[in-house]
Amino acid sequence: MRSLCSLRFPLVALAAVTLFISTTQSHAQAPDYEFDDCHFHLTNYIQEGTNIHDFLKIMGNRVGRVALFGIPLQQQWSYRVDGDKAPTYYLNSDAPLYYYSFTDAWIATAYKSLNEAERARFDPMITGFNPSDMYAADHIRRVLQAFPGVFTGIGEFSIHKEFVAAKIAGEVASLQDPALDRILNFAGEVGLVVLIHNDMDVPFAKEGSKPAYLDQAKAVFKRSPNTTIIWAHTGMGRVVRPIKNHAGNIEEVLRDPDFRHVNFDISWDEVAKYIVASPEATKITADLISRYPDRFLFGTDEVAPRDWAAYSKVFHQYEPLWKLLDPETSQKVRRGNYERIFDEARRRVRSWESTHAGGTVSQ
């Protein structure tokens, strides 16, 4: 009878071969996802939304990973204003919006209801803070300490946003507020990705005028060089349309080494409508992305979708753009840049959490 020692090498070799075959099969069977989503709201302006388990079914084998967040603002139901007609969206009422901090606990709880494999497909984001409050950074720290192992970034949160900023109760958020610097600097310290909505200009701006908030935004970003920033919608909005030099203004940021930490997402159907409005607009966008393929991410900006058709409509709306991008660039925008940026954020945030059980935000 052969000894166990004489069998050791064949057994080890067999185990190695089995592991190789298993790993190869696993990779071969891994879904070829169409996109990752850097911008997704699980809940809406009255904090209702899609059950996360139902959303996983919507994602199916077509969507790989999703940056997961609610909406930091609650639409007030004022009976004096709206009577029995309860508003569900910020454009449904003249009543104000207010910051709703419980959204972070709600998102964390939804995430923690998933199993380990399911959690790996999500990157929850902290949103329930008032960016005009010097204590906002402390809120972010407390959320990280209350829910370690959950969050990867902060946002989407808004500074200047058409029709929204003026409706929020309390002070108007500002790019020139030191509270924002404190938020961004703390995010950089921890490694959190920052997804910020800030319209580059005011609604219905005069064609040819300089964007109202571009210089202020650049000054803020320059003061936070260690923070990974994603500028939502490339600074566009529902009626904050791309002015003639919009691509040029974006390229000024992209080519400046002081802004190497700044990226752009092309989320929202309101943005897509401008980009695919004409072959010329689509080509300008495709050419810009092709020159800076590592700096753009795709997101849907869908809010509590009911089904795949509702969730994927923005992705399909961009079909003319995908056709103009070469395969490598398309893959980076749809998936590669997300995974690179959010993988690094996961690593850094988990490292920070492991050594910061208490304490305060750095000044």
Domain-by-domain residue ranges, the chain? Answer: 33-355
Among candidates 255, 271, 248, 258, which has minimal Cα distance to 318? Answer: 271
Q: What does the alpha-carbon distance between residue 41 and residue 19 come to, in Å, rounded to a whole number?
A: 39
pLDDT of residue 360: 55
Q: What does the alpha-carbon distance between residue 25 and residue 23 come to, in Å, rounded to a whole number?
A: 5
Q: What does the alpha-carbon distance between residue 313 and residue 196 come to, in Å, rounded to a whole number?
A: 23
Contact 196, 161 (CB under 8 A): no
Q: Whole-model pTM?
A: 0.89
State the CATH architecture for 33-355.
Alpha-Beta Barrel (3.20)
Owner of token pair 């052969």: 2
Residue burial 103-135, b: 16+ Cβ < 10 Å; e: rest: bbebbbebbeeeeeeeeebbbbbbbbbbbbbee
Regions of the chain where pLDDT drops below 70: 1-30, 243, 357-363
Amino acid occupying residue 342: F
Encode pLDDT of 278-328 as tens digits.
Answer: 999 999 999 999 999 999 999 999 999 999 999 999 999 999 999 999 999
Q: What does the alpha-carbon distance between residue 140 and residue 129 come to, in Å, rounded to a whole number?
A: 8
Owner of token pair 């795949």: 308
For 201, the 3-state DSSP assignment is coil
Encode pLDDT of 72-118 as tens digits.
Answer: 999 999 999 999 999 998 989 999 999 999 999 999 999 999 999 99
Q: What does the alpha-carbon distance between residue 48 and residue 305 come to, in Å, rounded to a whole number?
A: 11
